[in-house]
Amino acid sequence: MSHVAMLIPTLDRIGGAERQVMLLARGLRSRGWRVSLVALAGNGGDSASALRAIGVGFTTLEMRKGLADPRGWLRLRGWLRRGKPDILHAHLPHAAWMARWSRLGAPVRVIVDTIHTSSTGTAGRRLGYRWSRWLPDAVTAVGEGVREAWVDARMVDPDRCIVVPNGVDLEVWRPDKRMRAEMRTSMGLGDEFLWFAAGRLEAVKDYATMLRAFAHASGTQLVIAGAGPLEAELRQLARELGIDNRVRFLGFVPDVRPWMQAADGFLLTSLWEGLPIGLMEAAACGLAAVATDVSGVREVVVDDETGWLASVGDAYAVAGRMNAVMALSQEHREAMGARARDHIVASFSLDAVLDHWEQFYRELLEANPEPRRWGAAGWS
């Protein structure tokens, strides 16, 4: 049984990348792989307990000073020597750098790292990736737009970076009329249009534009699931816009599926994205979306077929698209939602994504039969 270890900054804060890593860990474990998840910091909370319950190992390096904490590096080296994973698969920059450089002190057969965002970050991040390009055996990106951004920034080699998309469990994320009726009854909603949005309340998600757009959409409700540092500021903006009686902030919600199944449309106003999992899950639930026209979103939303795209930061453009969706008959809106789900089924099925990862892992293991201290030949 081959052993794959997922390295990730933390599970204490759950975003799209963390949810996808846990989904891959569960899927690979169910297919017979030995799977471990190693967090740089935090204790993993309920997420770690859920993983352990299905046979996925969880370890934390308990790092408190980021990459400057030498104890974390020593703990990772010790864990790699004891656990002897065949594949070390890192997600997100800090984990990627640790996986790459730890190889010099604790050789492994295969190191892979996955890029989850089209943002190339600071000059320091760009240099960090360029200087360590020779250490991993493979780099993957969750979407074509992500790959293009990092190739253009010369952070990855175009010949050595492939796209492996995020996957959606289509048995879990699907329309549910019973749940829709129950949720809407509990909210006191009849035929009133309900918009739903999910994601951390951070600047990149540009919820301010969403709220300003929503102020121009009358006769509707908006529910936002997510926590973050901008919550107080966004609540104040909703009051200033006079929409606080129509906007509900849920905070962090472990399972947003019932809300998606109750909603009529999904909103996303990000400044940039990788391959937005929340948007994919909403589509799998049969929701038409209004989203900003950025890399990654274009791979999920087919404009004027499965939803509508609007210019980044343009509240009036977003509002116009929202009103267009709301003006559709229920029959036409449901048909758009059905097309959205069909697109997810065709392009982002979890089973197909797991097939891809298994095949890719096996090819890498076959090409790298022994542990070593460097990456793929030619990375220099």
Residues 62-105 pLDDT 10s: 998 888 889 999 999 999 999 999 999 999 999 999 999 999 99
Residue type, 283: A
- Which position has the token pair 């939803």? 307
Report residue 371: phi and psi, to 5°. Answer: -65, 145
What pLDDT score was predicted for residue 66?
Answer: 80
**∠ at Cα 242 (240, 244), nearest 5°?**
95
Q: Which of 293, 287, 298, 334 is nearest to 317 (CA)?
A: 293
Q: Which two tokens stand for residue 300?
A: 């999920």
- pLDDT tens digits for range 196-239: 999 999 999 999 999 999 999 888 999 999 999 999 999 999 99
Q: What percent of the chain has pLDDT over 70?
A: 99
Sequence ranges of the domains in the chain: 3-167+349-367, 177-347
Fold of the 177-347 domain: Rossmann fold (3.40.50)
HSE-up of residue 134 (Cα within 13 Å, Cβ side): 9
pLDDT at residue 266 is higher than 70: yes
Residue 375 confidence class, pLDDT cut points 50, 70, 90: confident
For residue 371, CA distances in Å to 35, 85, 91, 95 come to 18, 10, 21, 20
Fold of the 3-167+349-367 domain: Rossmann fold (3.40.50)
What pLDDT score was predicted for residue 273?
Answer: 94
pLDDT at residue 379 is higher than 50: no
- Which position has the token pair 């990788």? 274
